[in-house]
Amino acid sequence: MTRALRYKTNKVRAVASRVGDAAVTIGSLSEGVHVTGVTAGQFSSIDAAEHMVDEIGPCFVCVSTWTTGIYDVHRAANLAANDRVLGWRFLLDRGTFEKSPKFAGPLIEALGREAFRCTAVHAKVTVLVDSDWRGLAVMRSSMNLNKNLRTEQFDISIGGPVSEFYANWFETIWDEAGVGGANGEVMDRIFKRFLLRRKSEHDSDCLSGLVLGELGDA
């Protein structure tokens, strides 16, 4: 599906920063503001999304990205506990998500399998919407979920036709990815592999402890 939106605005704030704080780099956000910037990869798209939520208020956060990493696993519990986020939706590339149960499993465990849908996606887009699915804000960037200490870029738009455009785009892709039962089967398969991996690691740790104990008694 190909879509494009042309728009004109004079309200753009440009930033270039090495500061390791999304809030400081991005700054305050209000209706009609556009922020464009480059970073040294010192924060992730999730850090940026949480700052956007803090500025805009309670909303749903919809994230399209290609891959996840260990950084996201550590953040998963915090994401679930953020009561300003009314709900999370993640569109992830099926190939990369299914190949990484050690990363995907904890995310599913923390947020529930209904928060994830897999499709063929490489777009890194974060959309904030209200309960009526109106677009409140959008960030387009080079960032995946995980922090990556390389040059990254981002563009944030608050309100207006740009946010609405991406809210409609995300809803369309989300609905298409949910057709049939294939997505649920993928989530169940990934989570089962994660649980088996965790059990195997637990059993291995117990066996190592037992062997060390026996050696100590010898």
User: Mapped to the 3 state alphabet, what secondary structure does the chain carry?
Assistant: CCCCCCCCCCCEEEEEECCCCHHHHHCCCCCCCEEEEEECCCCCHHHHHHHHHHHHCCEEEEEEECCCCHHHHHHHHHHHHCCCEEEEEEEEEHHHHHCCHHHHHHHHHHHCHHHEEEECCCCCEEEEECCCCCEEEEEEECCCCCCCCCCEEEEEEECHHHHHHHHHHHHHHHHHHCCCCHHHHHHHHHHHHHHHHHHHHHHHHHHHHHHHHHHHHC
Whether 190 and 68 have beta carbons less than 8 Å apart is answered as: no
Locate 42 and state its tokens: 């010192």
pTM of the predicted protein model = 0.80
Q: Is the pLDDT of residue 214 over 60?
A: no
pLDDT tens per residue, range 140-181: 999 887 778 889 999 999 999 999 999 999 999 999 888 877
CA-nearest of 170, 111, 171, 159 to 135 is 159
Using N-to-C axis directions, what is the helix angle for 182-217 and 101-111, rounded to 10°? 110
Q: Is the pLDDT of residue 74 over 70?
A: no
Domains and CATH numbers, the chain: 12-217 (3.30.870.10)
- Specify the higher pLDDT residue, 216 or 126: 126
